[in-house]
Structure 1
Amino acid sequence: MTIDRIINILMKSNKIFVTFHQSPDGDSLGSSLALINGLRSINKNIFIVSKEAIPENFSFLSLSNEIDGNLKEIPSNADCLVTLDCGNVERLNCDVKLDNRNFIVINIDHHLSNDYYGDINYVDTKAASVGEIIYRILTEMKIDIDTKIAECIYTSILTDTGSFRHSNTTYNTHLIAGELINTGLDFSSVHRKIFDNKKIEIIKLQGLVIDSLYTNDSKDICIMKLTEDMLSKVGVKECDSADLISIGLKIVSVEIAILLKETEDGVKVSLRSKNYVDVRKVAEKFGGGGHIRAAGLKLDAPIEEVEKILLKELEKELI
């Protein structure tokens, strides 16, 4: 069984490193920190590798200070690299070459579009979050799930299920959440720290995005833009796009929401759907990926051009 193999390698490894996808979210961060907290509790040498620092709204998680963007490469003396919540090598948040290496790669994910690039691949597409898989691994290792670990896993589940409202939420999701709450976890506090802890500049930024959003002629697609000019106007450098794109789905007639995020090296696109459109299929056409109802991609083109291309492609899905 794959989980048994994963546990066997983790127990034999002296130096373990963990990484996740670029622009990390609550699932990638929560599952990674849960694994690190859990393995350190049994005295394993495990470290996080990331080119980016942790977003401020997740800084309450235990050991989050170690995601500071300083350790970017996998050391030559590594025994094992665990990649979490990342479907392909190109999106890994570290500098790594998978050829000519001495360490084992364990690829743990829940995306259908995963490339199976690891020596061991555990891809459970029925899991609502990678946090659920990490919970399973830690419990099978008989590691005590204390409130610190519970907080990390709950963050993973909470964010990837949209507070348990997305269609990926299952009976097992709620079962695990219940077990985490039984540890003494203050789940209301976790929710507040993630969702109700915004700076005034971010709220003003949301206002700019809302003011500029529009729908297509049939009103079933909502298009939103987050430009560098908007960020500059409110005085922030970065913003969690998940909060913004959910606004578009609140419009009664909308089936698909698009958020176009302008960056220095292209346009990052987030796609969400409510009921029936498979946005992952559209994302994959442009080298992206994700889930049926939530996907993303990146295009190196002006934002106006990306807008036209994607709007045309998504309207085909609504015919």
Structure 2
Amino acid sequence: MQQWNAFYELINSDSKRFVILTHQNPDADAIGSSLGWKLYLQKKGHTATVIVPNECPSNLRWMPDYAEVITFDQNAQTVTQSKKLLQEADVICCLDFNALHRIKGLGSLAQSSTAIKILIDHHLEPEPFADFEFSDTTKAATAQYIWEIIKQMGDAELVDKPMAECLYAGIMTDTGSFRHGNTTPEVHLAVADLMRTGLNTNYVHRAIFDNNSLGRTRLLGYVLSEKLTWLPEYRTVYMTLSLEELKRFNSEIGDTEGIVNFGLSLENVVMSVLLIERRDEIKLSFRSVQDFSVRELANKYFSGGGHKNASGGRTSTSLPETVNLLLSILPEYQTQLLNVEK
């Protein structure tokens, strides 16, 4: 209660300079929650700027006020601009991540800043760096949490259609279009409230999912037809993409987003894994159903984490070596995988 009262006074205080940060490789929840929060803070009389560590996928750039988002690593000018904003900020809001290393070069800048720090997130085990910490793993999305905080502030009437579009985008994607197990009654109630602003849910869905480039469409077809391996003895599917293959399909930021989910659409599959070769690491995306926790697996073997049914990881070895590591640990989880009721 004491934290909430101080937070309430901060948001309702005279104009302050806010900077909003979100994680590397921002997804719809990261961008949607950040822009929704930015628009809210502006309505409260504050100045607010969103800074992202790296470029956003093209299918998220339609969101209201996206044109004002600063991409930290875009060029020397944006690096200088970001540093200046963080140095001058009164408040830094950290959205949809729970550890400063997840924002790459922005992390040390945020850490050294004397600004008040606010964390709003729904991932497990947040690092203790914030002055105000709102961390709740029962929230399906940070965007849902943002809406509930605004509502608790008594400011629900300030949420308009542009804000609702941003927040709905985060909620919709982090629940897998309301298919995942994190789709609670509270999620539907939040969406119902947002729809009362005049929100067109069909528009948001099409803007994100029906806006693919020809290259991404062909890449998806290639992965599903040529790169998908089914391991029935482990009820697991895995897919791989090399740097060479990504170049062949002119892959852009965000083109691989969501591909891992297709593995779970197959009958009897409990876990789906996508392994992608990047310049300096192998990135892994894990998805699962029901009670099988990919978070535990990702954390134990791949320096990763996230949610029970949706996690990420990485290695510094080669793609073949990472595949071999994955295959070598599957026997450890075989009993769990075989016993899941799908």
TM-score, with structure 2 as normaliser: 0.88
The residue matched to 1:241 in structure 2 has which SS?
coil
Unmatched 5+ residue regions in structure 2? 72-77, 336-342
The structure 1 residue matched to 2:29, chosen from 18, 27, 30, is 27
2:327 matches 1:311: yes
Deviation at 1:282, TM superposition (A): 1.2
C-alpha contact 1:10 1:16 (8 A) present in aligned 2: no
1:181-192 matched pairs, under 5 angstroms:
181-192=195-206
The structure 2 residue matched to 1:290, chosen from 301, 306, 316, is 306
The structure 1 residue matched to 2:245, chosen from 206, 217, 230, is 230
In the other structure, the counterpart of 1:134 is 146
Query: For the residues of structure 2 that align with 1:30 and 1:317, how far apart are their CA atoms?
Result: 35
The residue matched to 1:95 in structure 2 has which SS?
helix
Deviation at 1:239, TM superposition (A): 3.3
Distance 1:257 1:183, change over 3 A: same
1:126-275 matched pairs, under 5 angstroms:
126-141=138-153, 142=155, 144-210=158-224, 211-218=226-233, 220-275=235-290
Q: Percent identity?
A: 31
The residue matched to 1:116 in structure 2 has which SS?
coil
TM-score, with structure 1 as normaliser: 0.94
1:93-132 matched pairs, under 5 angstroms:
94-97=105-108, 99-132=111-144
Q: Which amino acid in the other structure matches residue 8 of structure 1?
A: E
In the other structure, the counterpart of 2:340 is none
More helix by share: 2
Deviation at 1:125, TM superposition (A): 1.0
Deviation at 1:140, TM superposition (A): 3.0
C-alpha contact 1:20 1:93 (8 A) present in aligned 2: no
Q: Which amino acid in the other structure matches residue 80 of structure 1?
A: V
In the other structure, the counterpart of 1:91 is 102
Unmatched 5+ residue regions in structure 1? none
Deviation at 1:99, TM superposition (A): 5.0
Deviation at 1:219, TM superposition (A): 5.3
Query: For the residues of structure 1 that align with 2:327 and 2:190, how far apart are their CA atoms?
Result: 38
C-alpha contact 1:112 1:125 (8 A) present in aligned 2: yes
Distance 1:169 1:116, change over 3 A: farther
| Cα root mean square deviation, aligned | 1.8
C-alpha contact 2:22 2:53 (8 A) present in aligned 1: no
Query: For the residues of structure 1 that align with 2:272 and 2:9, how far apart are their CA atoms?
Result: 43
Distance 1:53 1:66, change over 3 A: farther
User: Greater CA deviation, 181-190 or 239-248?
Assistant: 239-248
In the other structure, the counterpart of 2:339 is none
Query: For the residues of structure 1 that align with 2:34 and 2:236, how far apart are their CA atoms?
Result: 34
